Structure 1
Amino acid sequence: MVEFVGRRDELATLERELQKVSAEAGGERPGRCVMLRGRRRVGKSRLVERFAERSGVPFLFYAATGASAADDLARLAQDAQASNLPLARLMSAAQPQNWDAAFDVLAAALPTDQPSVLVIDEVPYLMDEGGAFEGMLQRAWDRALETKPVLLILIGSDLSMMEALNSYGRPFHQRGREMVLGPLNPAEVGCMLGLEAAEAFDAALVTGGLPLICADWPRGASLWDFLDEALNDPVSPLLVSAERSLAAEFPPNAQPRRVLAAIGSGERTFTNIARAAGGIAATSLQRSLEILVDKRIVAGDEPLSTRPSKERRYRVTDSYLRFWLHLVGPYIGEIERGRGDLTLARIRDAWTSWRGRAIEPLIREALARILPDDKLPEAPAVGGYWTRSNSVEIDIVGADRAPIAKELRFVGSIKWLERSPFDQRDLAALHRHRAALTDEPVPLLAVSRSGVDCSGLDACYGPADLLNAWPL
């Protein structure tokens, strides 16, 4: 199934946890817990459903709705009735009125003579500021659930809340194993869609590696063929996934949503974001940025060098959301009027510029994964460097740590164009920028989509080299 391209490691992890439950069955505390987090629509629920279905053991999959407590408990009874737990009828018969009682009934419904799987999806919907749900979950786990041969899987899309669930001082601290599910990486996207290395990176940028969008991409189709089809379908996953994810995170007129739109439009500095978001006050903007960074939707990058800097730049972390905010979302109206051709023409015009900036974090991640090699040393931190005026802007800086390094390991330039290789002029500019950053003759590298047409570099990498950072 397409949803599970590249998910073998995650399935294997869950299977090992269930095997440990089986091995401890009959012991005092055989139960185990996994806390799975990841951005919305990366396939967390489907992954766990697939695991539970093929496990061969009784399981209950419950998804919270974010409605009232009474509605959530009623939904739990319905999901229990639809499950294959041998004693699932207990939940419907008991009709618990709070989560303390619900956990008691769940514990009674779990078998004692064989392993089972209990899944609670969208856990952050159940969490409250006072920590009442976490306290009830902790008591239920310690007193009853852990004594059963059960694998409890807690799933959530709010990354900061899921991290808090297991943090020091919280009721459920150290009671489960944390697991993170990311989007499909460029190599997985390329394998799934039957694309060569360079085209795989383009597809990864547009889809963000989200399985639902990748599944809508015809195997072997070009970027422009895919966009032509998707932009003429008002309900295509490319169009609707971002809006649904944003609606789940923020009310339509929430200030962080306006700030996110400003960043997605291409603004990166604090001042320019404030202006693009409608001239909001600095304190209000700072609060919104903190919310967005805390939710891992936005990242605040600092120049990587041996000197401190206050020149922080903001970016949308999810490349699909970044693409949608800049090139799709503002034009949904014309797409719904049947004029997706206008949107496609606009994307064609902006594509080279947008991609040149969007590819940078992905290339830095790839380099951090493949180094050291026979050309460059290891670099625990790979980032970029810039000045306030952008008179000096270096795409790649490798160092021993970030954001203030003790030692720079290399500097480099990215040229990601179809028909223009990295040439002597690019090398001369890289020499000038290195001299502005450091007096040390640190190695120089180029990352080019179309090869290198000069000598004097210590290393160069193309799309196929970078794709090896994610072995299949």
Structure 2
Amino acid sequence: MIREFVDRETERALLEEEWEKDGGRLIILYGRRRIGKTRLVTEFIRGKEGILHFAEDTAPQIQIRRLQEAVARFFADPLLASLELATWDQLFTYLAGKNLPERRYLVIDEFTYLIKNDPTILSALQKAWDTALAESNWCILLSGSMLGLMTDAALSYTSPLYGRRTRDMLLGALRFADARKLLPAFSFQDALKVHLTIGGIPEYLLKAGDYADYAGFVEREFWSRYGYFYREPSFLLAQEFRELKTYQAILNAVAVGNTAPGAIAQFCGMDARHLYPYLEAMTRLGIIEKELPLLGSKRQGLYRIRDSLFDFWYNFVFSRRQAIETENHPADAVDLNPYFGKQFEVFVRSEFARSFLPGYTVGRWWYRGEEIDLVAVREEGGNIVFGECKWGNLTEQKTRGVLTRLVKKAEQVRHERYPHERFCLVAGGIEGKDRLREDGFLVYDIEDIEAACTAE
């Protein structure tokens, strides 16, 4: 069954723009596995003519032969099909020699498999591009999931393709307003829980969409050794890195709260000086990120797991694998609320805040044990907003208590550049919202988040 194709309007528009331009086009599309690259490409080439080739991780000679067969079929060239080509150079020379009267595409999906097994493909493509393809009617799109290899081999300044590509696109996750469209049977709150657990990865969301609620999804796909997500993070890491145990130890350290480099190194039994290459590698791939406090010292950087699936998995699955393997893991024994609270903060800052703080720079603040979940500034007008995020439901009395403590904490952050202050609370449910708003507070709960998402 073909599922609904959600969002990606910006990406589709960019690809169409490339298609309509004159001369050869060389597009590099990359992003993590399951992000929807193949589906995007399929939608882009619909109604167009060309060659779509799915590369496989096999010997170079087999790879050359399979692409050769695809090219021969497209041009109905039995002579090409019968030749024994030994190099990529021969194949790209053939393509460069074709005088196309109209625009045609050559899409190579999982191009990184070809680079991995024979890097000379890059030089061969460069040569063909410089001699003929750049002025041709070919629209070449190279797609890849091995982010490290794609970045180093196809995008870096040392790559033979450097300066040749006409567009590169890093495909990111869906925002929640779009992601929830793939979860039509879920309540709004359960859909948000799914998003906080696996992020906006289309294939993951489609898997979750097979279930009626969040509890059933997690029990079958995380708490089972046959679950779709039981080994997924390990598989993704193994595809990118060799020292799997070290990367897993670091991710486990960060997941359980060791966010400063020294604490991470101590948890892993490493010298802190040896830690940074691992952190940088995972940061480059979007698995983790370094956070700096807004309006705070730039030397106070902390690390967090940026990828929701990795954060959830290393919080709850990594340390429970033996119990899951022996089918001795009671699903109701796991308290997920602290995790949801942490991820809810991130969601509010990264997605929901744009609905009520347009034009603001949004972050958070911390110093010596004190923390403010949300700090947002707007230079024009000198505005600043301080906010707290709570996953659960709050009475009006508790809400006022949280806001009173927030006003007190804000005294440590006040800045003369931002004389106009407001205070905010976002929670699962808030009693007395109207009265709190009459008092000047910005208060929002799940009802307001749902309304904002529906309006997008």
Tell me if both proteins adopt one fold, taking TM over 0.5 as the criterion: yes
Map of 1:284 onto structure 2: 274
Q: Map of 1:301-340 to 2, 5 A cutoff?
A: 301-305=291-295, 307-339=296-328
**1:57 Cα offset (Å):** 1.4
Task: Provide TM-score, normalisation by structure 1.
Answer: 0.82
**1:426 Cα offset (Å):** 0.4
**1:64 Cα offset (Å):** 4.9
Task: Provide TM-score, normalisation by structure 2.
Answer: 0.85
**Pairing partner for 1:449 from 411, 424, 428:** 428
**1:17 Cα offset (Å):** 3.3
> What's the secondary structure of 2:289's corresponding residue?
strand
In structure 2, C-alpha distance between the alignment counterparts of 1:120 and 1:365, rounded to whole Å? 33
**Pairing partner for 1:268 from 259, 269, 272:** 259
In structure 2, C-alpha distance between the alignment counterparts of 1:74 and 1:2, rounded to whole Å? 33
Say how many residue pairs are matched: 442
In structure 2, C-alpha distance between the alignment counterparts of 1:283 and 1:251, rounded to whole Å? 19
**1:240 Cα offset (Å):** 3.5
1:190 aligned to 2:190? no
Map of 1:43 onto structure 2: 36
Cα distance per residue 1:410-444 (max 9 Å; x no partner): 11111111566761110111111101211655211
Q: Map of 1:186-265 to 2, 5 A cutoff?
A: 186-194=176-184, 195-218=186-209, 221-231=212-222, 233-251=224-242, 253=244, 255-265=246-256
Please say if residues 108 and 141 of structure 2, whose CA atoms lie closer than 8 Å, have aligned partners that are also in contact.
yes
Map of 2:92 onto structure 1: 103
> What's the secondary structure of 1:105's corresponding residue?
helix
Q: Map of 1:69-468 to 2, 5 A cutoff?
A: 69-77=60-68, 80=71, 85-87=74-76, 92-108=81-97, 112-127=100-115, 133-159=121-147, 162-163=150-151, 165-166=154-155, 170-172=159-161, 173=163, 175-194=165-184, 195-218=186-209, 221-231=212-222, 233-251=224-242, 253=244, 255-277=246-268, 279-305=269-295, 307-339=296-328, 341-342=329-330, 344-347=331-334, 349=335, 351-367=336-352, 369-372=354-357, 378-379=359-360, 381-387=361-367, 389-390=368-369, 392-400=370-378, 409-418=384-393, 423-438=399-414, 440=419, 442-453=421-432, 455=436, 456-466=439-449, 468=452
Please say if residues 448 and 462 of structure 1, whose CA atoms lie closer than 8 Å, have aligned partners that are also in contact.
yes
- What is the Cα-based RMSD across aligned positions, in Å? 3.2
Q: 1:266 to 1:92 in 2, by over 3 A?
A: farther
**1:140 Cα offset (Å):** 1.6
**1:144 Cα offset (Å):** 2.6
Q: 1:362 to 1:285 in 2, by over 3 A?
A: same
In structure 1, C-alpha distance between the alignment counterparts of 2:135 and 2:284, rounded to whole Å? 35
* Identical columns (%): 27
Letter in 1 for 2:384: R
In structure 1, C-alpha distance between the alignment counterparts of 2:448 and 2:82, rounded to whole Å? 60
In structure 2, C-alpha distance between the alignment counterparts of 1:59 and 1:100, rounded to whole Å? 18
Letter in 1 for 2:183: L
**1:88 Cα offset (Å):** 6.2
**1:394 Cα offset (Å):** 0.3
Larger deviation: 138-147 or 156-165?
A: 156-165
Cα distance per residue 1:68-106 (max 9 Å; x no partner): 54353344345556xx51246565433332322231134
**Pairing partner for 1:62 from 48, 54, 61:** 54
Q: 1:85 to 1:319 in 2, by over 3 A?
A: same
Q: 1:450 to 1:409 in 2, by over 3 A?
A: same
In structure 1, C-alpha distance between the alignment counterparts of 2:158 and 2:431, rounded to whole Å? 54
> What's the secondary structure of 1:423's corresponding residue?
helix
**1:357 Cα offset (Å):** 0.9
> What's the secondary structure of 1:417's corresponding residue?
strand
Letter in 2 for 1:395: D
Long gaps (5+) in structure 1: none
Cα distance per residue 1:121-164 (max 9 Å; x no partner): 33344458x98544432222222333432221111234465456
Long gaps (5+) in structure 2: none
